[in-house]
Structure 1
Amino acid sequence: MPTETEVDVCNETSSKISSTRIAPFTSLHYTRDAAMSTMADEIYQKCSSIEPNTSWRNSSPNPVVSIPDTKTDTFQKIAEKTTEIAMYGPLVCLANFRVTLVHLLWMWHWIDALTPFCASLQLLDTHATPDPQSSVFNPDLLTSDISVYNVENTINPVTQFSLMETHIELKLCATDDAFSDEGEFEDDSMASQYRTHLFTVFICADRARLLRWDRAGVTVTPLFQYSSSDTPYLQEFFWRFSHADNATRGWDTSIMDPSPDEETKARQSLKVDDSEILFKFIVYDDCGPNADPTYLITGPPFETHAFPTGRATRCYVAYHLTQGQNVFMKDTWRIVTPGLVAEGKVYERLRDSEIPHVAEFIVAGDIPGQTHRTLVLGTIGRPLTSFRSSWEMLNAIKDGMIAHQQAFQKLLILHQDISVGNILITEDSNGTTSGILIDWDLCQMLDTCSNDARPKDRIGTWQFISAKLLLDSTAPHTVADDLESFLHVFTWVAILFTPNSMSPEDLTAIIQLHYEDMWGAPDTPLGGRAKQLALATGSRTDPPAVQKMLDRLQDHTWMLTTITNALQDRNAWLAEDASRLNSTSSSSCEPYNRERKPKSELEYCRAPQKYP
């Protein structure tokens, strides 16, 4: 486990399958169980072990006040309970006097020995009180068996992942180990809070584990007998945790509260009501180390992450305190690997070379001591799928291609992640719309990156990756692959969001066949057979014609010329064909409402999966 939280390069740059029922732009979900299995597979690849009696203790401070003696018979009674719910009462009595009548029956047995372990914490039985806000990150409302809060916090509803310090999951049977529910709860905690790491406790029958989650993975102790006087690790953990400061508990202390004056200005500019909590971010300029920091005020993100590990990207419309205007802010744990350049550095080069149809770059930098990067752009766009006409949609794609062409020809920068989410529509003060190409964080600078330093695994968003790369994950990524991705973006959006005569069954079949085709091992999936067949239609009767078409995709010229000519006569295009999500054949294909995430409208059977 790295001492400084970094995204695991080996896993993070490899193909991974994630559940759309957890988040949009993910692949391979059919049922809720399959989604959780997918999450478990991902977490399993990012686990490491640590002994609770050695270096685990280095993760938390040693309180000045000595830990009190523990009567282990109280924990032995917990282990003897025959139902999972019956376990809650005694454990909650460790630190909470305000409990239900059932818990009061246990109170006098526990109070003297156990209350001192959680002096500053409040433990609540929350197994039957789901957090209504968890639907933002998960279609199923989630609960935690025992939630742990600061005593100062008033919890209503009881389960509130945004305020939770840690939580305890309980299982009666020893066969329920392997972390069981672990993952989905950490998902909500890490997604609804600003954290560098998170501690959790897993109790299985008469044994327990301690876990530490961060963006690289999870460190977990072996099972230990919590009822034994030889292994009082559970008691020691809560004693240390209750005396730890916010940074040690895992809170990101670089996030601040705005002043009343700053909050007033931000609410007016962002148009958020008083019920939304505002946060103050500080951004350090990597391009100008001596420059003053930039301060931004944000409400909730309009796009957030969905897994406890990984880059954990959040996107905001933020209020720039110095400029007094709204800007775009992207917060992410960046990948650390040779060949990938920090996104801010890429935007700086694009700006200095006056590459068109790229967002205005303001500032970018890492939070000190972390590989946690904040990027600020002066351009705010709307999703490609919000087009008001098909002409507007194709014009935005054309502009994205121009940005791609100029970046490649002038700077030898290859984007490598052309997708429906990375082309936005912008509008100037006169109402004229255009497109911009965003998310350059996975690009390659071919002039400075050797072949050996380039990632060996495929990069991109599954539905739009070229047929060649889907069929061979080790094939080199070339400009032709990105150009093919532009073609797939256009056809994918046209099929799903423009009027057509296809039945829901036919539409679903086409989407699944051409964009969802996937087989092979979960860690190295393959696909692209239908894409390859579609591109090669007629090859048996006229191979030269097909080869001529494929040759055209080696360069931007033919595609840009064709699209530009098609757009010239505006009157030839339908005036009333604004974006509308077409019906599909199954309820599982319908997008579920994900509050604060406009891109959720793109969800269908399996929404786009980004690699890495």
Structure 2
Amino acid sequence: MDYSEIFPHSSGHRVTKPAERAMASDLHKKVVGPMAVETFLDKFFPKDADNLTPHLSPVTSVGIVENATTSKPIKRRSPIAQTSPRSFASRLSLHSSISHMSPRSSATSSSASLRRSTKPQGRHQFDDVSAAPTEALMYEPFIQTCKRIAPGLEFVNSSGSGDPECQLSGDALKPDVVVYAPHSGRTRDSDFSRLEMHIEFKYNSFGDPFQDPVFVDAVGFANRRLQSFEKVGCEMAADTCGQIAAYASAQMYRQFRTHCFSVLVVGNRARLIRWDHAGAVATIAFNYVLEPHLLVNFFQRYAQASDAVRGKDRTVRDATPEERRAAEEHLGPSDRYFAIEVAVPFTDPETKETIPVRTLVVAAPRYSTHSLLGRSTRGMVAFDMMSKWKVFLKDTWRIDSPDFAPEGETYKILQAAKVKNIAKFIGACDVSDTESGEHATLTQVYARMPWACKTQDMVRYRHYRLMLETIGEPIWTFKSSYQLISAVWDTIEGHSGAYEAGILHCDVSVGNILIGPDGRGLLIDWDLATSVAELNMPGRRRERTGTWQFSSAAMLMNSGTHHHVLADDLESFVHVAAWLALRYCPHGLAPESLSMLLYEYFDRCTQPGKHDIGGYGKEAAIMRRAFAREPDFKQSPLLNELFPALFSTFVVRYKLPPFSLTLMIPDPTMETPEEYKSWREALLPRLESHEWILEMGKEVLSYTDAWPLDDRAEEQPFVSSKPKAQKRESDRESAYHPVKRSRYH
């Protein structure tokens, strides 16, 4: 089943704005720039023997570049000494690159010829590219030039051939030009499971999503922290940003990578970009016609770089024939299988020998529309070559912060406390390898550099893998409405046990509830969980966490100030049950009405400042004890009674004191201060424990004769309301299935 088709957004809407804009909004203020080109090359492609691919040699094509293998240092020309005319951007590029260099790198530059820009004998190799009358005619001249300067790479015009495995809003992704390693095994021009990088072309400057700083001081970056690197107010620029983000996202999801690179060509200028899960780093725009050595140097260094420098995960390899046969037998057919090394020890029950690293075989992950940024969780059923069992592998990038314990540590606490209705935990580890060391993001480091323009606050993400023994099915595959409610209340019971063990989940959502092999609900994804003791510590407060569509109204209405408590998770369970009932249980709402209800209740948000604000649809439903557009669950009439009863308990969180209480003036039309105080004191304690909601679930499930047994999940028809475009950070993927969701961290 392709969940990206039936579940493209958490609320079930079709794309509510152009897909490229949605991807661009995820990158809002998370592209760091402008980095000088030579700094970019030296930082990300250090030229030393350990990082060179042994079978590739530097390019020595006569008439294209100077001999790159010569031991004679290449002298840098001063920008003042230039005799040929140079644009302001070109001068700034060279000026900034000098400013970014450390004293150490400056001292050693004269003795490392391969670390310097390879300069051309002539400035004409890319003339045909910039002189092309249309964008489409730029591709082939560029490819032919690159083939000569970097024969160790394969450049392919992929503009007419999309990858059917990677789609955005139903359209196959097809970059203008893609780059492959020799003998890549690609099966088509656009193959995101094997490409090395994409190159996007735009004919004029309107297509450049970035803008270089205007004001420059003596060292090259005055007032940059006050300037935006993003081009604002240009639709073409936003579309380009979304395009390149979608391509990087597809590449990272279809492959096993820590980061990737791309090139953006706009007219006669180009930018180099490095992507990871924290954001992206982009260079200043440089004139590749006047300074072709910058592109030449980039492609040559990339061709000679090791897999780790290129961003490939060295703990993953193609499966051997024996491993492929085992995977096909237990996992089913796939076009490609990978073998993953996971540092979770396995003890052979017969020999008692302990093997420190397991080998798991997985099928090539399928791409679903989601953001590159954040945790980018992938859940895969894997075959363990050690134990010969099928297991579940969660591959994610965890927030590397003292406020967020690794998920494996949380599972150990839960299993020690014998918490019910959670998946059985095998082991977990941070990912590292001998060449790259620990796998962690770098973009957040460069966001703090003095040359970087204004960005959002960024966090460090670290690669993490977790193994579970239990393999479940998505909650929206329930076989009856009775099983739906029963599974949700199973997870509330598990949540209660975890709370007693001192753990609060903090991310209750549709994607984090599964139906286990025994038909019971399982609560998964504990990576945002926190200690109850820490939440109660004075002055201790984390940033807002959770999935937007299922976060409590209190969390969304009081962005950045609300203290996450148990009542927020309990309210999230209600929103999860409401979403599932509205989307998959038959009712009387017309498609247009359902679409608007989903939008108002689950998706609507505003942007008053740093944080998005929302939750008003949820608050309104709670206050009126009913949905804004009342569905009639004819096949499951108990649902018509369940939701008003649930809403009624949460009214106490949002009902303001009577006006007379505020002014201490009696008002006969409102309840008295004493009545209000008595009512509030009676209801608030209910939200401080699970007892009331567990009792309510037990009661409603006890009426077995009133529940139909054959009303299995059936997607209810709806139409997109296409509301005004709005921003939410979307980087949350379910551990067990591709579900696009949103969260804040």
State the TM-score, normalizing by the size of structure 2: 0.69
| 1:13-92 mapped onto 2 (5 Å cutoff) | 23-25=8-10, 31-33=16-18, 35-49=19-33, 50-62=35-47, 65=58, 68-69=65-66, 70=120, 71-92=122-143
Tell me the SS of whatever aligns to 1:209.
strand
C-alpha deviation, 1:494, in angstroms: 1.4
- Mark the CA change 1:465 to 1:44 in structure 2 (over 3 Å): closer, same or farther: closer
| One of 361, 364, 374 as aligned partner of 1:310 | 374
Within 5 Å, give how 1:160-559 maps onto structure 2: 160-178=191-209, 180=240, 181-229=243-291, 232-270=293-331, 272-273=332-333, 275-285=334-344, 292-301=356-365, 306-368=370-432, 369-370=438-439, 371-409=462-500, 411-428=501-518, 433-447=519-533, 451=537, 456-473=542-559, 474-521=561-608, 523-537=610-624, 548-549=682-683, 551-559=685-693
1:443 CA displacement: 0.6
Please report the RMSD computed on the Cα atoms of aligned residues, expressed in angstroms.
Answer: 3.0
Distance 1:454 1:297 in 2: 42
* Distance in 1, Cα, partners of 2:346 & 2:400: 18
Q: Corresponding residue for 2:70?
A: none
Report Cα offsets for 1:282-312 as digits up to 9, x if no partner. 1114999x96122211113478672222212
SS at match of 2:399: coil
Q: Tell me the CA shift for residue 586 of structure 1.
A: 3.9
Q: Tell me the distance in 2 between the aligned counterparts of 1:380 and 1:521.
A: 42
Compute the displacement of 1:512 (Å): 2.2
Kept in 1, the 8 Å contact 2:272–2:283? The answer is: yes
Aligned residue type for 2:604: D
Change (3 A) 1:469 1:336: same
Maintained 8 Å contact 1:26/1:610 = no
Structure 2 letter corresponding to 1:78: V
Change (3 A) 1:127 1:22: farther
Between the aligned partners of 1:361 and 1:468, the Cα distance in structure 2 is 33
In the TM superposition, residue 491 of structure 1 has moved relative to its aligned partner by: 1.7
Question: CA 1:164/1:302 → structure 2, altered by over 3 Å: closer, same or farther?
Answer: closer
Q: One-letter code of the match for 1:119?
A: P
The answer to whether the 8 A contact 2:126-2:288 is kept is yes
* Secondary structure of the structure 2 residue equivalent to 1:72: coil
Unaligned runs of 5+ in 2: 67-119, 211-239, 348-353, 433-437, 440-461, 626-654, 659-669, 724-733
Query: Judging changes above 3 Å, is the alpha-carbon distance between structure 1 residues 534 and 22 closer, same or farther for their aligned structure 2 residues?
Result: closer
Aligned to 2:634: none
| Displacement of 1:571 | 3.0
Residue in 2 that maps onto 1:8 = none
Q: Distance in 1 between matches of 2:597 and 2:24?
A: 30
Structure 2 residue matching 1:268: 3-state secondary structure: helix
1:517 CA drift (Å): 2.9
- Structure 1 residues 26, 516: closer, same or farther in 2, change over 3 A? closer
Which stretch of the first structure deviates more once superposed, 464-473 or 357-366? 464-473
Deviates more, 1:38-47 or 1:357-366: 38-47
How far does the alpha carbon of each residue in 1:239-260 deviate from its partner, in whole angstroms, 9 at most, with x for none? 1111122211111111022232
CA displacement at 1:558 relative to structure 2:
0.8
Aligned residue identity for 2:265: I
Classify 1:587/1:599 alpha carbon distance in 2 versus 1 (closer, same or farther; 3 Å).
Answer: farther
Q: Deviations over 1:360-397 (max 9, x none)?
A: 00010011212210111011111111111111111111
Counterpart Cα distance in 2 of 1:291 and 1:414 = 34
What is the alpha-carbon distance in structure 1 between the residues aligned to residue 366 and residue 190 of structure 2?
23
Cα distance in structure 1, aligned partners of 2:16 and 2:615: 23
Distance 1:269 1:21, change over 3 A: closer
Cα deviation for residue 37 of structure 1 reads: 2.5
Give the Å deviation of 1:356. 0.9
Is the contact made by 2:130 and 2:267 (CA closer than 8 Å) also made in structure 1? yes
What secondary structure, in the 3-state scheme, does the structure 2 residue paired with 1:151 have?
coil
Q: Please state how far the C-alpha of 1:448 moved relative to its aligned partner.
A: 5.1
Identity of aligned residues (%): 31
Displacement of 1:523 after TM fit?
A: 4.8
Which residue of structure 2 lines up, in the alignment, with residue 560 of structure 1? 694
More displaced stretch, 453-462 vs 248-257: 453-462
Match for residue 647 of structure 2?
Answer: none
Q: Displacement, 1:530? A: 2.7
Select the structure of larger CA radius of gyration: 2
CA distance in 1, matches of 2:473, 2:431: 28
Shift in CA distance, 37/28, structure 1 to aligned 2, threshold 3 Å: farther
The one-letter code sitting in structure 2 at the alignment partner of 1:504 is P
CA drift at 1:138 = 5.1
Please state whether the residue corresponding to 1:424 is helix, strand or coil.
strand
Judging changes above 3 Å, is the alpha-carbon distance between structure 1 residues 154 and 436 closer, same or farther for their aligned structure 2 residues?
A: closer
C-alpha distance in 2, partners of 1:286/1:265?
A: 21
Within 2, Cα distance between the matches of 1:164 and 1:210?
A: 17
- Closer/same/farther in 2, CA of residues 167 and 48 from structure 1, 3 Å limit: same
User: How far apart, CA to CA, are the structure 1 residues paired with 2:275 and 2:7?
Assistant: 18
1:141-160 aligned within 5 A: 141-153=172-184, 155-160=186-191
> In the superposition, relative to structure 1, how do residues 228 and 186 fare at CA in structure 2: closer, same or farther (>3 Å)?
same
Amino acid at match of 2:414: L
SS at 1:359's partner residue?
coil
Per the TM alignment, residue 265 of structure 1 is displaced from its structure 2 partner at its CA by 1.7
How far off its partner does 1:349 sit? 0.9
Contact map agreement 1:417 1:460 (CA 8 A) in 2: yes
Question: Does the CA-based 8 Å contact 1:312-1:332 persist in structure 2?
Answer: yes
Question: Is the deviation greater in 520-529 or in 534-543?
Answer: 534-543
Distance 1:27-1:205 versus aligned 2 partners, 3 A rule: farther
1:102-160 residue CA offsets vs partner (Å, 9 max, x unmatched): xxxxxxxxxxxxx1x2121111112122222222x653222111111123135442111
* Alignment check: 8 A CA contact 2:165 2:366 kept: no
Offset at residue 504 of structure 1 (A): 2.0
**Cα contact 1:304–1:313 (8 A) shared by 2:** no
Residue-by-residue CA offset, 1:571-612 (whole Å, 9 max, x unaligned): 3311121111111144979xxxxxx99967x8xxxx753334
In structure 2, relative to structure 1, the CA distance for the partners of 1:185 and 1:285 (3 Å cut) is same
Measured in 2, the distance between the counterparts of 1:28 and 1:574 equals: 28
Partner residue, 2:707: 573
Amino acid at match of 1:313: T
Deviations 1:214-234 (A, max 9, x none): 1121111101111125x6110
Q: TM-score, normalised on structure 1?
A: 0.83
Q: CA deviation at 1:38?
A: 3.6
Three-state SS of the structure 2 residue aligned to 1:227 is coil
Task: After superposing the two structures, state which structure 1 stretch, 235-244 or 301-310, moved more.
Answer: 301-310
Indicate the larger mover: 449-458 or 79-88: 449-458
Q: Report the secondary structure of 2:193's partner residue.
A: coil
In 1, the alpha carbon distance for the partners of 2:384 and 2:538 equals 41
